[in-house]
């Protein structure tokens, strides 16, 4: 009788198990709350409140509440799916990818550092993270067609942007919010964060290029197998890159460039460029319009265009569900009134520590907190008003508290199953979560050590 091998559960099962664990924790962890002023917790005001344990019904409701809470992201994902469905139907992507690989002529590996630096710049300047979801279906086929596996395509985007987010220099959604609550300017500590960005981005590029070269030499070394996933391009089927398809690819590229420009807060970064301030509703409309324009350029009938767009949305429906369920974990913690209690425990753990010990403890505290609250802006709003004042007693500046916070938050969000971007990216590439952990853990260990080294240097040189 053959022994059954263990198979990693799907992303849905992992997230529902986490929901059950969090619900169980609401029966054990005392409920509590801080006093709030303008939505910000006030240090030293923590008090217990009536216990609010969450049962089976609450677990199911939290999954749907999370979906409602993340409906803007989910609709954006569906619109991207519809847009890509129309583009793929035209054959322009297949033709474009074939043309790119042919032009590179064996130099495809240089796409890795170039694209990772671009995504890293987006991550460090404006916290490019959720927006990367639109790029996975675009770039995974390129790397599959070049002879790599889906993990390489995911890594270029996820690790490229992720390394930038870890060392957020002027990211207004993490560094900016945290700096405001810490009472420091965005410029304080920027030199340390710039050095961090160079180190983290360089390490990520080296790691991905080494893995990609290994897979190219010997496909059996892939953690998932070359060509894994439905999104792939066969180089044996040469699709002609006609003038119409070139025009479609131009509109396709322009749509993504507009998206990137529209979400960058140039005003908050001090740059003299018009700020559009778009977010998911506007971006969803952008991809809807882009899909219709491309369908008309390809001379699709109204019925064909509609059916193709809807079918494309359906392809990414599972990703939208994953994002919604992951948001439900935070909903369940808040409903169970344990978020502030966990934060209060951290407040007590930090009291009375010296400068180096305090800084490292802040970093270590944010590792589990980020798993529970993956939103960097939400976590900053909840915790920095409490943690930053404690730093003054330990002789640690607010800028180091901010750096410790963002380093831990960015690090954890590359691998935690509660991060919607991670689970969504893996779902798009059809990469099991356990294979991703097997692949990325060595780089995460290096990132962890680098973060500790930079924080200690920041204290000693501060």
Concatenate the DSSP letters of all residues of 193-257 into one string.
HHHHHHHHHHHHHHHHHHHHHHHHH-GGG-SS-TT-SS----TTSPPP--HHHHHHHHHHHHHHH
Rounded-to-integer distance, Cα 429 and Cα 436, Å? 11
Any idea how long the chain is?
Answer: 462
Question: Which value, to the nearest 10 degrees, does the dihedral of the CA atoms of residues 128, 130, 131, 132 take?
Answer: 80
Digitized pLDDT (tens) for each residue of the chain, 462 residues in all? 455 566 667 777 888 888 899 999 999 999 999 988 877 788 788 999 999 999 999 998 988 888 888 788 788 888 988 998 898 888 887 787 777 777 777 788 888 998 999 899 888 987 788 778 878 887 888 888 888 999 999 999 999 999 999 998 877 778 877 888 888 877 788 889 999 999 999 999 999 999 999 998 998 899 987 654 444 444 445 667 888 989 998 998 898 888 878 877 777 767 788 888 887 889 899 999 999 999 999 999 999 999 999 998 888 787 788 778 877 888 898 899 998 898 888 888 888 788 999 999 999 999 998 888 777 877 888 788 888 888 887 889 899 999 999 999 999 999 888 787 898 899 888 899 989 999 999 999 999 999 999 999 999 987
Could you give the 3-state DSSP secondary structure of residue 37? strand
User: Which of 26, 56, 57, 42 is closest to 337 using CA atoms?
Assistant: 26
- Residue 8: what pLDDT? 65
The C-alpha angle 418, 422, 427, rounded to 5 degrees, equals: 110
Question: Which value, to the nearest 10 degrees, does the dihedral of the CA atoms of residues 288, 294, 297, 299 take?
Answer: -80
- Residue 153: what pLDDT? 93
- Residue 5: what pLDDT? 63
- Residue 262: what pLDDT? 84
Q: Are 409 and 174 in contact (CB under 8 A)?
A: yes
Rounded-to-integer distance, Cα 395 and Cα 362, Å? 13
* Distance between start and end Cα atoms, the chain: 65
Q: What is the pTM of this model?
A: 0.78
The C-alpha angle 313, 255, 263, rounded to 5 degrees, equals: 95
Rounded-to-integer distance, Cα 235 and Cα 358, Å? 55
Rounded-to-integer distance, Cα 376 and Cα 280, Å? 17
- Residue 229: what pLDDT? 43
What's the token pair of residue 5?
């091998």
Residues 6+ away with beta carbon under 8 Å from 106? none
- Residue 232: what pLDDT? 45
């Amino acid at each position: 009788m053959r022994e059954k091998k263990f198979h990693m559960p799907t992303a849905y099962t992992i997230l529902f198990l986490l929901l059950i664990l969090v619900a169980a924790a609401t029966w054990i962890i005392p409920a509590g709350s801080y006093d709030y002023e303008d939505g910000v917790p006030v240090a030293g005001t923590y008090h217990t409140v009536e216990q609010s344990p969450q049962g089976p019904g609450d677990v199911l409701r939290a999954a749907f509440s999370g979906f409602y809470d993340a409906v803007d992201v989910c609709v954006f994902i569906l619109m991207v799916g519809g847009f890509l469905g129309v583009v793929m139907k035209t054959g322009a992507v297949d033709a474009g990818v074939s043309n790119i690989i042919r032009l590179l002529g064996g130099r495809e590996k240089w796409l890795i550092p170039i694209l990772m630096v671009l995504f890293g710049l987006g991550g460090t300047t404006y916290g490019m993270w959720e927006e990367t979801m639109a790029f996975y279906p675009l770039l995974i086929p390129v790397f599959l067609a070049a002879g790599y596996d889906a993990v390489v395509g995911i890594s270029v985007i996820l690790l490229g942007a992720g390394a930038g987010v870890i060392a957020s220099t002027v990211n207004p959604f993490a560094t900016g919010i945290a700096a405001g609550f810490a009472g420091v300017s965005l410029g304080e500590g920027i030199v340390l964060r710039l050095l961090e960005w160079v180190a983290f981005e360089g390490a990520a590029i080296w790691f991905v290029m080494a893995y990609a070269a290994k897979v190219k030499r010997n496909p059996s070394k892939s953690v998932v197998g070359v060509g894994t996933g439905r999104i792939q391009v066969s180089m044996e089927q040469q699709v002609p890159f006609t003038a119409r398809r070139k025009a479609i690819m131009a509109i396709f590229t322009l749509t993504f460039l507009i998206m990137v420009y529209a979400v960058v807060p140039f005003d908050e970064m001090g740059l003299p460029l018009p700020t559009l301030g778009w977010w998911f509703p506007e971006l969803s409309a952008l991809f809807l319009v882009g899909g219709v324009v491309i369908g008309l350029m390809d001379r699709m009938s109204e019925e064909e265009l509609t059916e193709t767009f809807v079918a494309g949305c359906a392809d990414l429906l599972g990703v939208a569900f994953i994002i919604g369920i992951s948001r439900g974990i935070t909903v369940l913690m808040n409903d169970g009134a344990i978020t502030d209690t966990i934060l209060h425990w951290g407040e007590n753990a930090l009291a009375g520590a010296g400068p180096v010990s305090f800084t490292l403890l802040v970093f270590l505290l944010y590792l589990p907190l980020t798993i529970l609250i993956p939103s960097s802006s939400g976590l900053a709003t909840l915790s920095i008003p409490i943690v930053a004042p404690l730093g003054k007693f330990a002789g640690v500046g607010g800028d180091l508290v901010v750096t410790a916070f963002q380093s831990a938050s960015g690090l954890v969000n590359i691998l935690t199953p509660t991060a919607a971007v991670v689970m969504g990216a893996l779902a798009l590439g059809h990469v099991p979560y356990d294979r991703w952990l097997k692949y990325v853990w060595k780089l995460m260990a290096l990132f962890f050590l680098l973060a500790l080294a930079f924080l200690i240097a920041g204290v000693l040189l501060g």
